[in-house]
Amino acid sequence: MTRAHRHIDDDIDAVRSLVLKMSGYVEASVESAVQALNEKNSSKFELVFEYEKKINECQIEVDQLCLHILGTQNPLAKDLRLILAIIKINTDLERMGDQAKNIAHHGKSYLEHSSQLALTPDLKHMAGIAREMIRDAMIAFTKRNEELAKEVLLKDDSVDELKRKINKSMIEIMKSKPGAVEGAIAQMSISRNIERLADHATNICEDVVFLRTGEDIRHSHQG
């Protein structure tokens, strides 16, 4: 061993592992929600509710571990920044679980009215980009890859653009086809939830940049 083994490293490894486990649940939850929609298989939404419970349990455990590390190990500099980043990423992951749950609720409502109005391909496209963003945000966190984090930030614009496009087309549909109102509202709601999933992925990437550089880029990389 070239340097002394530090107790704090074990604690940090433990909390990092838990965050990765939590992000795995988030990814699986979003995947289940999107599959349920694509396959018109309402029972698959139940998985989302199961994952959300696990995510909430992880959230509480991550916060307890961070509090423990801060209270007993006196982390400094790089370690302290990592703990603060994890506290924030934890909040984002928990809210992503909520967003997946919202997709499941609106998705169930959509499937009840899907005979009125087909699922727009833009929604699948948007969900695909958001899922890539979530996956890459967590890879960027794990590998401390600032470049990858910045690539994810750039993808957020196309998600926002797709949301605007979906909103516009759903409003036109509702005006011309009153029977399609519920199906259109559900799709608008799902697109909003996907947009928020992507926003949380960008929050995580901002934390990764902060972790690498100590620079706070929130409110600066967007217009």
Residue ranges binding a second copy (CB under 8 A): 56, 59-60, 63-64, 66-67, 70-71, 74-77, 80-81, 84, 87-88, 91, 171, 174-176, 178-179, 181-182, 185, 188, 216, 218-219
b (16+ CB within 10 A) / e for 21-37: ebbebbbbbbbbbbebb
- Nearer to a second copy among residue 74 and residue 115 (C-beta): 74
Report the nearest approach of a second copy to the CB of residue 125 (Å): 22
Tokens of 73: 């190990």
- Taking the least distance from each CB to a second copy, the nearer of 83 and 126 is 83
Contact 135, 27 (CB under 8 A): yes
Question: Is 8 or 139 the residue whose CB approaches a second copy more closely?
Answer: 8
Nearer CB in complex with a second copy: 1/223: 223
Give the shortest CB-116-to-a second copy separation in angstroms: 11
Minimum distance from residue 53 beta carbon to a second copy (Å): 8
**CB 2 → a second copy: shortest distance, Å?**
26
| Cβ distance to a second copy smaller for residue 20 or 171 | 171
Q: How many angstroms from the chain centroid is the CA of residue 35?
A: 16
Residue 169 buriedness (CB in 10 A; 0-12 / 13-18 / 19+): middle
* Cα–Cα distance measured from residue 223 to residue 221, given in angstroms and rounded to the nearest whole number: 7
Find out whether 164 and 195 touch, Cβ atoms under 8 Å: no
